[in-house]
Amino acid sequence: MLPIALLPERGSTYALNVDTAFWIIFYLSLVFFVIINVALIVFIIKYRRKPEDEEPGAPISHNTKLEIIWTIIPTILLFVIFWFGYRAYAKVKWPDKKPRLEIKITARQWGWTAEYPDGKKIITGTIKDNRAITEKDFPPIIFVPAGEPVQLLLTSTDVIHSFYVPAFRSKYDAIPGRYTKIWFQAKKPGEYPVFCTEYCGKWHSRMPAKVIALPPKKFDRFINIPVDKFNSTLANMPLDSIYAVLNLSDKEFEEWSGAQEKLLASLTPAERGKLLAQKLCVSCHSLDGSPGIGPTWKGLFGHEVELADGRKVVADENYLRESILDPQAKVVKGFQPVMPSFQGQLTEEQIMDIIEFIKTLK
Ligand code: CUA
């Protein structure tokens, strides 16, 4: 290993296998780089043509001993590379034991949606301003149990993305119209950054997320939260608050969820829509009339919009709903057809909430 931190900590059970293959290839390359370049320089100096040397040397046909050596040694080295490489590949590809659960990850321009088997859903958005991304900008995308294998089923709604957890050495493409699989087992509880590593457009570098590995007990609490309760509360909370909630005693937790339900019940649909929009929509649609990737929402509702094909439509509920589910159906003049569909990502109720919010932006 190098004395500098070239790779992040090894957070998954197979990280060491991947690193071993990496370092073996790295050091083999380094050794041969030195041998070849030193020989190159020595030979250039030693065997350079001297001014008085006009005769070509004696012809050399071959050297059997040398040729056997330089065939056998590299062959052995290639088998070594293959062995460690294949072992790492096999470990990453096939879980040691049956994964505890499978989480569906859907990538979009530009963010991730995670869905648990019971329907729990977490969505991350785009960091759109131009400041440098800090540690705080990594929102949780999945919660997993430390010490247990977890399977991810990846896909994409628009272009190819790639789900990469450097600490786990887990990386796999999320491809539209296809499912790909990756699994991992976190060694210990912690927070592990996720990056998109397939160039996917303007904000490719700004769809950060985080895998949260929880101690088994806390994960049980997380997984046992009823889906409707989770999606309406925890899914929208900052990480600190989620941790705080997962640390509550059973009784405190009951009280908390009761209070949350009351609080949510007190929100108007427009207020609920605003919470959602801030997460999902405002990276492209401004709320104040300023230009963006998509049309501003200010003064949108009830007004006539001109489409790219010259038609004119009124932005009513049906138009907005259609534009959320099938954005390419009626593209507004002057804008690119780049919006991803939110079909299957949002419930009818959530779509209504967002529309109610748009109505308030006069
Ligand atoms: Cu998504 Cu790059």
Decide if pLDDT at 3 tops 70.
Answer: no
Give the CATH number for residue 6. Answer: 1.10.287.90
> Does 195 share its domain with 212?
yes
Instruction: Convert the pLDDT of each residue in 207-232 to its tens digit.
Output: 899 999 999 888 888 888 777 777 76
Give mean pLDDT, residues 322-331. 88
In the reported structure, the alpha carbon of residue 196 is separated from the centroid of ligand 1 by a whole-number distance in angstroms of 4
- Is 160 among the domain residues? yes
Percentage of residues of the chain with pLDDT beyond 90: 38
Residue closest via CA to ligand 1's atom 1 equals 161
**Above 80 in pLDDT, residue 14?**
yes
CA-199 nearest atom, ligand 1 = 2
204 in the same domain as 121 = yes
**Pocket of ligand 1 contains residue 161 by CB under 6 Å:** yes
Q: Which residues contact 44 (CB under 8 A, 6 or more apart)?
A: none
Other Cβ atoms less than 10 A from the Cβ of 211: the count is 27
Residue 167: inside a domain, yes or no?
yes
pLDDT over threshold 70, residue 42 = yes
Asked whether residue 54 is domain-assigned, the answer is no
Across the range 255-273, mean pLDDT stands at 79
Task: Decide if 6 is inside a domain.
Answer: yes
Pocket lining: 204 vs ligand 1, CB cutoff 6 Å: yes
Of 4-18, 106-120, 188-202, 275-289, which range is least confident?
275-289
DSSP string, 127-166: --SSSPP-GGG--EEEEEETTSEEEEEEEESSS-EEEEEG
Q: The domain that contains 329 carries what CATH number?
A: 1.10.760.10
Position 240 in a domain: no
Q: What is the pLDDT of residue 1?
A: 53
As given in the structure block, the two tokens for residue 58 are 């004696």
The CATH number given to whatever domain includes residue 160 is 2.60.40.420
For residues 20 and 28, is the Cβ–Cβ distance under 8 A? no
Give the long-range contacts of residues 57-61, CB within 8 A, separation 24 or more.
Answer: none
> How much distance in Å is there from the Cα of 189 to the middle of ligand 1?
26
Mean pLDDT of 87-112: 91
**Residue 55: DSSP 8-state:** S
CB distance 211 to ligand 1 below 6 Å:
no
Q: Do both 88 and 105 map to the same domain? A: no
Mean pLDDT of 286-312: 86
Ligand 1 atom, smallest distance to 161 CA:
1
Mean pLDDT calculated for residue range 270-277: 83
**CB of 200 closer than 6 angstroms to any ligand 1 atom:** yes
241 inside domain: no
264 lies in some domain: no
Q: Structural domain tally of the chain?
A: 3
Pick the atom of ligand 1 nearest to 196's CA.
2
Cα–Cα–Cα angle for 22, 25, 30, rounded to 5 degrees: 120
**Residue 201 Cα to ligand 1 middle (Å):** 7
H/E segment holding residue 360: helix 348-360
Residues 140 and 44 in one domain: no
User: What's the rounded Cα separation, in Å, for the pair 97 and 153?
Assistant: 17
Q: Are residues 106 and 89 in the same domain?
A: no
Residue 148 and residue 135 in contact, taking contact as beta carbons nearer than 8 Å: no
Q: Clarify whether residues 123 and 212 are in a common domain.
A: yes
Residue 199 CB less than 6 A away from ligand 1: yes
What is the atom index within ligand 1 of the atom nearest the CA of 197? 2
- According to the model, what pLDDT value does residue 4 have? 59
Map residue 342 onto helix, strand or coil. Answer: coil
Q: Which domain holds residue 311?
A: 270-359
Please indicate, yes or no, whether residues 70 and 113 belong to a single structural domain of this protein.
Answer: no
Q: Is the pLDDT of residue 264 over 80?
A: no
160 CA distance to ligand 1 middle (Å) = 7
Do residue 67 and residue 106 come from a single domain?
no
198 lines ligand 1 (CB under 6 A): yes
